[in-house]
Structure 1
């Protein structure tokens, strides 16, 4: 009978994926290893690697919550960038300059453009 694969290999704040092929932040994506195999791999860099039983890792790495939080943050940043992407806000104002710097809207516009877009 083979030994149960119930251990995760943790390196820093990441877990090894199955077959030691890459890293993931999520427990559900992590590879499962035998205790012996996980400890063997973790011994390579013991100062920041460990073999950890899957039950000792919280299931709070819910991808939907993570993606929702990233989407919300992206939308918040996009809204702020859209304001600064408007060159009109850099024009002189009758009550004095709105900003004490030159037109920097090109920075915001470039951040708003998807990669590779013209």
Structure 2
């Protein structure tokens, strides 16, 4: 298994817009073969003595954080799926270049190999 993970700071008042886009994106990724597409939003974000995702994402008091992942069979499968997704015009049409729902430059991303699954 291979997983692409994302940590995205987003203005709280734009969360419904993000949810709409994420639901559309999920359908596209799944259409091209992603095994799982998950988007979660911060809820219980503070534990004494532990840094929070809000801090790591650089969120302001008007922002929250989205933690999401997409899973694939392996890295080669991820590359194959993402190539098709990025070539799909629907992905580009859902992004408003003049007023994006979130700032991609502030998003954290990583590709991960499976270590433990229970």
Q: Same fold (TM over 0.5)?
A: no
Instruction: Give the number of the structure whose residues are more often strand, by fraction.
Output: 2
Bigger RCO (CA 8 Å, 6+ sep): 2
TM-score by length of 2: 0.22
Tell me the TM-score normalized by structure 1: 0.22
Say which structure is richer in helix: 1
